[in-house]
A and B are shown apart, each in its own frame.
Chain A
């Protein structure tokens, strides 16, 4: 196991507020790492900096030794680090299959002009996009909604669509933004299985931000805990459950939220 992604002394300030203070950790290849913490702990900010949607104030993020922070999101995606969003961020008037076809942008071999004139490589691309989309739909078990418009999908399916769009880019590291939020127990368990399958079958390293403690505990290899922008703990689910600092951080908010 080697360090695939490394977060080094990353700090983000918004005016006088420090959203992330000197955060350092690394992500191993092929692991599922969760970032948890009470509301406002700075989880989303950290995510945005890793995917270059937000520049860091100081510090850097490395992927296979190359800096990926303070670039453009599309450059980072090109390198293989792709984030998903919460359910409202979708292509509303595209069907599930269309979304997946568009999302394979990085796999395109022909140029934009090539598509316009319909060159051989463009036609091959289009064919391969379609095949890949169908494979991915089968892989995720969402063939029932293949031709549904995204705007008509219920919440649970939107998560699967978000995951599908992310996976269509063929990422090495996938950042999942609250993949279980607003799901009931059954839906959450199905999603947990799906995320595991993505890691196991496709060799994708997964980094996720999540509130749902039972899900996090069951899915994660390791967990990072943030509180008020500081990283207060790092360890396996068992270690985190017994960590005094973590328990204190959560006692301030809802007791049952941590689910232990």
Chain B
């Protein structure tokens, strides 16, 4: 019961309170910030899922970049609707992750982490080299998402015709975020989540009870990369451009930090972690050249004293993975 109330409060806050506050205060720049948080938290949710099978994933930037390019290319070169290119971008990222995951997912700990760290750089270099991605010039002037109508009834209006496309992107991104985390919650509390937990805690024992651990790892990595691709594709659409540097190694590291900060044991950890990290960074802007120093110092302290993430402060029993 408490969970449903919490969900309702959250939905009202995201879809009603925040927009009306922004409208009242005129701080429309918040739309972009919060949209970014929503999209980054979707990609971070994917990273969180790989943590859930005991793998440190520092390569989500690679899949976000792949997703952004796939969507941009489909929209600009093949004339696809953005709304169709979005799932296709996720699927393409997932397929790539399966091809990469089969050989590398058997690695553990730091070895897996190192390879994923390189992935972002590999995708960046590939984007620079391929003709279809237009090298360093990237893909620019991507049209805004078009209209979706069912039987002449407009479900989603053409973003280009809207008075305030920022608000439309905000609603879209938040809706995707809510969908993502609802699916994650369900997944973690269903059998796949239980199997992931068993693998995270002891892979040998998991395989002795008949769990095909290699298979599950690949499935989970594919879902993770799917989310990365979706997040990336949305970003490309908002910025209306994609460059090889749109997602860098730093972004990949940040996706991972979001999970750490929010709490690896909590499904909603990445959402909170992204919010705090993103706003924390912005709030420290005044410090000028000390920004990074203070920021990283605070992160270290937080992780020392809250190794299980911010959500371990409270929310015990609420949103706790698989309990």
Contacts and interface: CB of A to CB of B under 8 A. Distances in A.
State the majority secondary structure of interface residues on B. Answer: helix
A98 B191 CA distance: 12
A110 B190 CA distance: 12
A78 B197 contact: no
A102 B194 contact: yes
A35 interface: no
A165 B191 contact: no
Nearest to A129: B191
Contacts, number: 85
A102 to B, nearest CB: 5
A102 B198 contact: yes
A85 interface: yes
Interface stretch (B61-69, B146-154, B201-209): B201-209
Contacts of B212: 72, 74
Which of under 10, 10 to 19, 20 to 34, or 35 or more describes the interface residues of B?
Answer: 20 to 34
B192 interface: yes
Interface stretch (A87-95, A196-204, A231-239, A251-259): A87-95
Interface residues of A, number: 35
Nearest to B207: A73
Contact of B211 (A51, A53, A94, A105): A105
A115 B209 contact: no
Nearest to B213: A74
A172 B68 CA distance: 51
Interface string A58-100: 0000000000000011100110001111000111111000100
A91 B204 contact: no
Given A72-B212, A82-B210, 9 more contacts: A73-B207, A77-B208, A78-B210, A85-B204, A91-B205, A93-B201, A105-B195, A106-B209, A108-B191
16 contacts: A72-B212, A73-B207, A74-B210, A77-B209, A85-B205, A89-B202, A89-B204, A94-B201, A98-B194, A112-B190, A112-B219, A116-B192, A118-B190, A122-B190, A125-B191, A165-B205
Interface of B: 186-187, 190-192, 194-195, 197-198, 201-202, 204-205, 207-214, 219
